[in-house]
Amino acid sequence: MKFDAVIFDLDGVICSTDEYHYKAWKTMADGMGIPFDRTVNNRLRGVSRMASLEIILEKYKGPALSPEQKEDLAREKNDLYRESLREMSTADLPEEVKETLDALRGKGLKLAIGSSSKNTPFILGQIGLGNYFDAVSDGNNITRSKPDPEVFVKAAEMLGIPADRCLVVEDAVSGAEAGHRGGMMVACVGDAAKNGAGDWNMESIRELTEIVKG
Ligand code: B16
Ligand code: MG
């Protein structure tokens, strides 16, 4: 086997919360009169909540905002976002994802999460993977957001597996860069795959079962 562990990004890889993020940011931005569309939204993939807010505020023309006002805006967005997350269930875990996870585990690989999201534990619980992973590294245990490699380096440390034996799975260009900067190989889906950001750019996550064999 080419790898001993696979570290999965959450949003956009294991489940699809992108649309919920978009709608919540859109409501906040509309309320402030800030132009916000899907092109700007694409830049928020894998980026932390506060860094996402700063990207959205690039188009804000009003009076300067204090750190407290920014915290309030981020909280407003997160409250809206979490309302959508409450509707999530095991039906939001795609079959191809669950089958791939089980197949990789069946090959003896360790499985971890490496996500920028502070909502990771809540989302995993909603989709029925609350106790599934061998390690969960997320927005609650990092100080630097992707493309910094911290979240993946911590996941590998939690597993006790060297970086070059870990494969990262990502949907964000910033996340693929984070994996590479952490000394890991990266398999991409979605937006990152379209941009050719990975060592493998997959059409389906099922391809992982072949990739890990080497
Ligand atoms: P939260 P990932 C990332 O998750 C999302 O892609 C990104 O859009 C979001 O801003 C970030 O989590 C922070 O999320 O507000 O829930 O802490 O793709 O790294 O799993
Ligand atoms: Mg993602």
Of 4, 9, 138, 191, the catalytic one is 9
Q: How far apart are CA 91 and CA 78, in angstroms?
A: 22
Residue 138 annotated as catalytic = no
- Hey, which of 45, 76, 117 would you mutate to test ligand 1's pocket, going by the most ligand atoms within 8 Å of its Cβ? 117
- Hey, which of 115, 136, 141, 151 would you mutate to test ligand 1's pocket, going by the most ligand atoms within 8 Å of its Cβ? 115
Residue 198: closest CA among 207, 214, 186, 206:
186
Any atom of ligand 1 within 6 Å of the Cβ of 41: no
Any atom of ligand 1 within 6 Å of the Cβ of 138: no
Ligand 1 center from residue 110 Cα (angstroms): 23
Any atom of ligand 1 within 6 Å of the Cβ of 82: no
The answer on pLDDT for 66 being more than 90 is yes
User: Tens of pLDDT along 123-137?
Assistant: 999 999 999 999 999
* Predicted structure pTM score: 0.95
What's the confidence (pLDDT) of residue 186? 98
Residue 9 annotated as catalytic = yes
Any atom of ligand 1 within 6 Å of the Cβ of 190: no
* Residue 89's pLDDT band (cuts 50, 70, 90): very high
* Residue 78's pLDDT band (cuts 50, 70, 90): very high
Q: How far apart are CA 136 and CA 112, in angstroms?
A: 6
What's the confidence (pLDDT) of residue 1? 81
The answer on pLDDT for 91 being more than 90 is yes
